[in-house]
Amino acid sequence: MNKKNEHLNEAQIKELQQVFIAWYQKNRRNLPWRQSRDPYFIWISEIMLQQTRVDTVIDYFYRFTAKYPTIKALAESDEQELLKVWEGLGYYSRARNLKKAAQQIMTEFDGTFPTDIEEIHSLKGIGPYTAGAIASIAFDQAEPAIDGNAMRVVSRLYGIDADIAKPASRKIFDQVLRQLIPVAAPGDFNQALMDLGSGICTPKKPECETCPLKNFCFAYQTGQQEKYPVKTKAAKPKDVYYFATAITNTQGEYLLTQRPDDGLLAKMWTFPLIEVSKETFEFGQKNFNKESHELNLFSVAEDISLPEMLPKDVVWQKRHLGEIKHIFSHLKWHVLLFYGVKQADFLLPQKSHFVPLKEFDHYVFPKPQQKLVDLLEKNKQ
């Protein structure tokens, strides 16, 4: 690791702090969770903001805190209702962990959010960044909140060439930030880093001329902004292929099945999914193309020779209804949607039942299922 800006002395660091805090107080984003220093609201916002854009989170934050205004309300929440409020934000383990942590607070801390950094960190789903953000913003503790924004700003400021994708590099940024955080305003400093990293010191084409830290910044002074931060590329998500089956009965209801209690999209509801090989997926994609048959949604073919893995006790339409794609952090789903009508001897799968379209809003759907329902609706028009 090379730290090229070690020449900043105490006076320069103090000047940097003053300039940065003044910039933040003048330019801070007006966000709902910044209207209060209640650790509960700061905690909810920070968990929501993981892997999610600020403009997306705002409406979710309002809805979530209206339904669960206190730690106690969250601790006592029904999980399916909780996931429904969270629906669309993705990474649903975040919502489940919020409830578990709220229950921890009720049982281990008498319902009061802990103030000690180690106790905050002990809560389910709270890592070093979130613990630092809560401790600094809610409790004025000089704790760093180290995320991608903070590491990008600091790597450019100091010319740090440690790979920010490696967990071991966090210690380097922790040491630097502990020198920089002003004891008098640690929360403002951390939030200033968040705002600077998201709006000015961006990954590509940073707006250095408007940056309050340009006079202190090694990368700006040497014209090496694009060199920092150093980051190895993440592994490409693995491709996974599915046939989704929109199966209806004579009442026009659709079969929904609940996913297992653990794992990806745990306990959420989807059309039944059948994992297939890439070759089988491409066969279905090509030979049952929705453009190749003059059939509307409810014109079902009797003899269609569809791929063998589709259930035999369903009469399938002679074309698929289209394809959706969805990227998780480590997986890329490719899903081909088929439509069929169940026969009298249809065997209902476990944790499954038929549901009218008008009642879909009562079920927790992951994003891929929402896309499949949209695809189904388009074919009905």
Please check whether residues 70 and 29 belong to one and the same domain: yes
pLDDT at residue 105 is higher than 90 = yes
Q: Is residue 110 part of a domain?
A: yes
Question: Cα 111 to chain center, whole Å?
Answer: 27
Q: Is residue 269 part of a domain?
A: yes
Give the C-alpha separation, 29 to 191, whole Å: 9
pLDDT of residue 295: 46
Q: Is residue 141 part of a domain?
A: yes
Q: Are 131 and 120 in contact (CB under 8 A)?
A: yes
Q: Is residue 256 part of a domain?
A: yes
Which structural domain, as residue segments, surrounds residue 329?
238-380
Please check whether residues 140 and 178 belong to one and the same domain: yes
Sign of CA dihedral 345, 336, 369, 294: negative
Sign of CA dihedral 341, 343, 347, 352: positive
pLDDT of residue 381: 57
DSSP 96-128: HHHHHHHHHHHHHSTTS---SHHHHHTSTT--H
Out of 118-132, 222-236, 346-360, give the one with best mean pLDDT.
118-132
Q: Is residue 233 part of a domain?
A: no
Token pair for residue 360?
């879909």
76 Cβ contact list (under 8 Å, min separation 6): none
Comparing CA positions, the residue from 118, 119, 168, 113 lying closest to residue 146 is 168
* Boundary of a domain, candidates 227, 258, 280: 227
pLDDT of residue 347: 82
- For the chain, percent of residues with pLDDT exceeding 70: 93
Give the C-alpha separation, 64 to 124, whole Å: 19
pLDDT of residue 47: 97
Q: Is residue 202 part of a domain?
A: yes
Average pLDDT, the chain: 91
Q: Are 283 and 109 in contact (CB under 8 A)?
A: no
Instruction: Give the pLDDT band of residue 72 (cuts 50, 70, 90).
Output: very high
* Boundary of a domain, candidates 227, 251, 266: 227
Indicate the number of domains in the chain: 2
pLDDT tens digits for 258-299?
Answer: 999 989 999 999 999 999 999 999 988 888 876 655 444 444
Token pair for residue 204?
């590509």
Please check whether residues 168 and 293 belong to one and the same domain: no
For the question of residue 46 being annotated catalytic, the response is yes
Calculate the dihedral angle through the C-alpha atoms of 204, 328, 326, 284, rounding to the nearest 10 degrees.
Answer: 130
Please check whether residues 36 and 96 belong to one and the same domain: yes
pLDDT of residue 94: 95
Q: Are 225 and 206 in contact (CB under 8 A)?
A: yes
Average pLDDT (92-106) is 97
pLDDT tens digits for 218-235?
Answer: 999 999 999 999 999 888
pLDDT at residue 254 is higher than 50 = yes
Please check whether residues 78 and 210 belong to one and the same domain: yes
279 Cβ contact list (under 8 Å, min separation 6): none
Least confident of 135-149, 153-167, 284-298, 328-342: 284-298
Which of 6, 10, 46, 207 is catalytic? The answer is 46
Better pLDDT: 311 or 29: 29
354 Cβ contact list (under 8 Å, min separation 6): 248, 249, 251, 253, 254, 255, 256
pTM given for the model: 0.83
pLDDT of residue 346: 83
**CATH number of the domain where residue 80 is located:** 1.10.340.30
- The conformational region for residue 90 under phi > 0 = left, psi -120 to 50 = alpha, else beta, is left
Comparing CA positions, the residue from 285, 325, 333 lying closest to residue 307 is 285
Token pair for residue 64?
């979530």
Q: Are 34 and 28 in contact (CB under 8 A)?
A: yes
Token pair for residue 309?
């893995």
Q: Is residue 111 part of a domain?
A: yes
Please check whether residues 315 and 338 belong to one and the same domain: yes
Number of Cβ atoms within 10 Å of the Cβ of 14: 11
pLDDT of residue 308: 67
Please check whether residues 43 and 185 belong to one and the same domain: yes
pLDDT at residue 200 is higher than 60 = yes
**CATH number of the domain where residue 261 is located:** 3.90.79.10
Q: Is residue 2 part of a domain?
A: no
Average pLDDT (77-97) is 94
Please check whether residues 252 and 331 belong to one and the same domain: yes
* Boundary of a domain, candidates 176, 201, 227: 227
Q: Is 311 exposed, middle or buried (0-12, 13-18, 19+ CB in 10 A)?
A: middle
Provide the terminal-to-terminal Cα distance of the chain, rounded to the nearest Å: 60
Please check whether residues 217 and 246 belong to one and the same domain: no
Q: Which helix (H) or strand (E) holds 233?
A: none
Out of 9-13, 210-214, 343-347, give the one with best mean pLDDT.
210-214
Instruction: Give the pLDDT band of residue 1 (cuts 50, 70, 90).
Output: very low
Instruction: Give the pLDDT band of residue 4 (cuts 50, 70, 90).
Output: low
Q: Are 258 and 352 in contact (CB under 8 A)?
A: yes
Please check whether residues 180 and 308 belong to one and the same domain: no
Please check whether residues 164 and 80 belong to one and the same domain: yes
Give the C-alpha separation, 285 to 280, whole Å: 8
Average pLDDT (13-23) is 97
Please check whether residues 251 and 307 belong to one and the same domain: yes
